[in-house]
Each structure stands twice: as C-alpha cells, then as structure tokens.
Structure 1
Amino acid sequence: MSNIEAAELTGKYIILDVLARDGEGNCYNVEVQVRRYGAWHKRGLFYLTRTLGGQLSAGEDYEELRASVGLHLLDFDLFTETVAEREQAVWRFEMRDERQPKISLGNVLQMNLIELNKADRLGLPEGPLRAWITFFKHWQEELTMANVAHEPVKRAMSRIRELSADEETRRLAFVRERALRDEVSLLNDAKREGEMTGERRVLQRLLRKRFGELPAWVGEKLERADTKQLEAWTDEILTVDSFDELFKH
C-alpha cells in the first residue's frame, strides 16, 4: 500500500475505501460508511462507474470488460420504511428490467449494501458473512471475537493487532479528491438539515395543539421527511381530523 502525503488529505472527512481486483480481473470497491448523508449513494455510484469505465484501454475489446462490484458497509440503518425493509440487512442491486426482474444485463455493474447494525441485530445464519459482520461490529471485544472460527476473520484480527502497534498506519486515508467532495456534501446536508429542523419543530407544535401528543410513528415520519413533504403536511393540517388522515400517504 502506498503512502499518502499529508498535503493530499483533509483529516476531518476521511472515508476508508479498499480497491481490489481478483484473479479473474473483477474490480471491487469496498467502502465503510459511518455517517449517513444525502448524497452517499450517488457518491458510491460515481466511483463505481469510474472503476468500470477505467478498465479498458484504447483499442481493447469490450469482451475484456470485467465486473465492477461495490460493497458498502453501512454503520446505520438505511431502509426502515416497511416491516420487510426492517427485516432485511443485506441488499444487492444490479441492472434488471423493471417489469421482469429475472431479465438482467448481467452483474458487470453491481452494488451491494450491508446495514451492519441491522444485520447484527437480526442475527444472520452461521457462515462467512456473519463472521465478517461480527468482526466489523465487535472487533474490539475479545470475548466475542474469540468465538469466531472463520479463518480469514481470525487473520484479519491478527493483522489489526499488528497495525494497532504501528503509529504510521493511523495516517492511512483516501486522497483529497474524494475528501473534498465529501466535505461539500456534509456541509450542504448540514445547511439543509438546519432548515428542515425549523420546519419540523413548527409542524410538531401545530400537531400537538390540534391532535395532542405525537405517537412514535409520527415522530419517525417527521424525522425522515424532506422539506417539500413537511411543507405539504403543514398546509394540510387544518383540513384533516387525525394523524392517520394527515399521514395516509
């Protein structure tokens, strides 16, 4: 692994990425996301497509193109709208037809998401995936990790112990191009969140005055809503007679 110069980094917005290629030439972009922000999925797709587009040199046959696979490990729950979403933690997105999803363009471009917190709570079947999720969530817990028998995870734990003693490895991060884009996204998200917080508080006060204390499910809907939806609910609050009627959509 090459060194990264200090001038190329902006420490506050470091995101850990691993770029790899297997023996068949397939490319893998592995990212660990510890903070949710609005454009994270667009960022992931942007770099995944760049990985795909950068495989071929001028004059090379398209048959030489190999899969570009994104693997995002999310340290937050992403899909929570329905019961089915809350009971699934591992997701795979490919190029498939909308009406006939069995018809696919192959896995040349593929995005995989693992919601680590949810997967840990749900308890996946015994196997390599469960072992790796345990590693990412509990690697600092010696008693928990002592029960993991999957050999690659055990080697990863051994390597982490070696690296933790090496102060230089704490400098590892990704280059400025990605860090600056992440900074812009985070700043814009903070600005939008500030605007939505004010609108959300006004709507909460109006709802309490009209219908009483807010049920938990209403609070969750308000937290997930964007500015446009908050404004729509505020406009309709005087024309409905209950929480259910207002939030029926």
Structure 2
Amino acid sequence: MNKIKNFSRLNDYFFKNLMGRDERKGLALDFLNSIVELEDNKYFVDLKFLNTEKTPDKIDGKLSRLDIQAQTDDGTFWDIEVQVSREDYMPERSLFYLSRIYGNQLNSGEKYPVLKRTIGINLLNFNLDQLRTLSSWHNYCCFCVPNTNVVVTRHLEMHFLELPKIKISDIKRLKKAEQWGAYFSGKYTDKDMEVLAMNNPVIKQALDYEAYFNSNDELRKEYLAREEAILDERIRHGYSHQQGIVKGIEKNKIETATNALKEGLSPELIAKITNLSIEEVNRLRQQLNK
C-alpha cells in the first residue's frame, strides 16, 4: 500500500503511537535525552507512560488534547505535546497542564521535598509570538530572576520546539536534537531521511515504524480521522481569528473617528481618513454631543 499522501509526522495520533508505547519507549528516551541534557553527562535510562488510554478525536465538538505523559527513572514527570494549529496562549496552556501534574504529586501530609521536577515538551508547527525575537528553534524557560542567570527553581520547565525555524545546511552533521527536529519538521526528502537513519539507528526505527503505520489499514483510518478533526479545528479557529481581526479594525476606525471629532476635524475629512460613511461619523458626533 502506498504511503499516505502528504503524511504528517506531527499528526498527534501517529506521534502518540510512535513515541507513547512501551514497545517503542526507546524512541521517546532518545528524544527526551536529546532535548534535555542532564548534568555530568548523565542521561535518562528508563521511563514509564502514565496515560496510555486512547483519546477520542473530539470532546463536545472541539478537538481533544492528545499528549504523552511519562516519568523517567530519576522521578522527573513529563508532558509531551504536539501542536499543529496556532495556539495564541501556548505558554499559559503548557504551564496550566504542568502545574496540575506538579500539584497532584503531593498527598495529604506529605512534605515538599518529595516533589519531582516536571517538564513540558511542546513540539510546534508554528512560531510563538512570544519568541519571535529568538532565532533558535529550541528554547526553554524556568523560574529565574529577570536579567540575571540566577535560577530560583527548575521544578517547572517548559521547552518550545518551533519547527518552522529549523534551518539545516548539512544533514550529515546534526546534533541529536536537530536530527529529531529535522525528522518531525517534514522539510526534508526521503533521501535526507536515509542519511539520518544511517547516522542514528533510533531514527531508522522511527522510519521503520512509520512504514508499518502507513501499511496498516486500521492505523491509517485513525490517522485520517484525526487529520479531519485537526482540519476542522483549523478552519474554525481561522474563521474566529478572522472575525476578531475585522472587529479590531472596526473598533480602531471608530476610536480614530471619535478622537478626530474631539479635535474638531470635519466629518467629511474623518470619513475620508477612516473609510467610515458620513452618516456613521455624524452618528458618532451626535453621541459625543449628548
């Protein structure tokens, strides 16, 4: 069977099957070790998945959240999420889910020292407005003192992997994190992927599973259902976003016209400047004079 046309490795159903199953946890470990480096050249050697249940495509007409939660051998909790549609409040969303995981660690009577580090990995198919001044595709944040290098705590840590920012000149000379970024970005050819597979056997495992996924009728069916749900959400979000822009433009016109009337400009000139009708400007003037 042929590969699904325009196959997306960021389809979260595929991602959860690739990275969120016990039989392939070595892929998740390799990915996490490439993103978060431990001190003294240590690395995570094992993990257990905490949410292996199947998540529905939609809840109450909205696209449900599909993520991977895990705990590594050092006790660290992880929340790994793929986001393909623009989310304006992604940092707040990530912090909200991390805070719930972090807070749920303590049982009644337990002390704060038992709390374990909690890390969010956000694999994004768009650029965050909050990070627009940064050229790096991988950035992270924790609690620190502004304008200093003083870290107060790393118990809550958020990583943002902005795949559109990835720019690779030589596919043969990539660090492990860049290899995973190149794989998930979908920017590179099958030949490039073959080169990655030769340099990293774990990437080869990912590609081998991808080939199996594409040949399995049931997995393909679930993948396509998820793509349809994602597309539906994108259209709805895009329509709402467009409505918001239109409302913002209209509001700016009215504010500009109102300020111009206060300054004593003629209704005719204001109508020309703002593209409002002369009748609308006159109505604003009447409201101001009440």
Q: Say which of 113, 118, 124 aligns to 2:160.
A: 113
Which blocks of at least 5 consecutive residues in structure 1 are unaligned?
A: 173-178, 203-226, 240-249
In the alignment, residue 137 of structure 2 is paired with which amino acid? A
| Aligned-partner residue type, residue 30 of structure 1 | I
Partner AA of 1:194 in structure 2: Q
Q: 1:97 to 1:54 in 2, by over 3 A?
A: same
Greater shift in the superposed pair: 69-78 or 37-46: 37-46
Where do residues 124-139 of structure 1 align in structure 2 (5 Å cutoff)?
126-138=174-186
SS at match of 1:98: coil
In 1: Cα distance, 2:145 partner to 2:125 partner: 30
User: What is the CA–CA distance in structure 1 between the aligned matches of 2:185 and 2:106, rounded to whole Å?
Assistant: 37
1:149-181 residue CA offsets vs partner (Å, 9 max, x unmatched): 222222222222223333444548xxxxxx9xx
Alignment of 1:191 with 2:244, yes or no, is: no
Q: Per-residue displacement from partner, 1:80-106 (whole Å, max 9, x unpaired)?
A: 886x42x2221111000124x322122
Choose from 68, 81, 88 the match for 1:31: 81
Letter in 2 for 1:102: N
Q: Give the CA RMSD over aligned residues.
A: 3.9
Shift of 1:234: 7.8
Which one is further off, 127-136 or 10-19?
10-19
Whole-angstrom CA distance in 1 between matches of 2:186 and 2:237: 32
Change (3 A) 1:16 1:64: same
8 Å contact 2:166–2:182 — kept in the other structure?
no
SS of 2:149 mapped into structure 1: coil
Call closer, same or farther: CA 1:9–1:93 in 2, change over 3 Å: same
Cα distance, 1:55–1:142 mapped onto 2, change above 3 Å: same
Q: Report the AA paired with residue 141 of structure 2.
A: F
**Who is 2:111 aligned against?**
61
The answer to whether structure 1 residue 47 and structure 2 residue 97 are counterparts is yes
Deviations 1:21-56 (A, max 9, x none): 111110111111111132333221111111111222
Identity of matched residues, %: 22
- CA distance in 1 between counterparts of 2:103 and 2:206 reads 31
1:9–1:171 Cα change, 3 Å: farther
Larger radius of gyration: 2
Residue 191 of structure 2 aligns with an amino acid whose one-letter code is L
Provide TM-score, normalisation by structure 2.
Answer: 0.56
Q: Which residue of 1 aligns with 2:137?
A: 89
TM-score normalised to structure 1 length: 0.64
**In structure 2, how many angstroms separate the alpha carbons of the residues matched to 1:159 and 1:103?**
43
- Asked if 2 retains the 8 angstrom alpha-carbon contact of 1:96 and 1:105, the reply is yes
- Residues 20 and 28, structure 1, Cα contact 8 Å, conserved in 2: yes
Structure 2 letter corresponding to 1:195: G
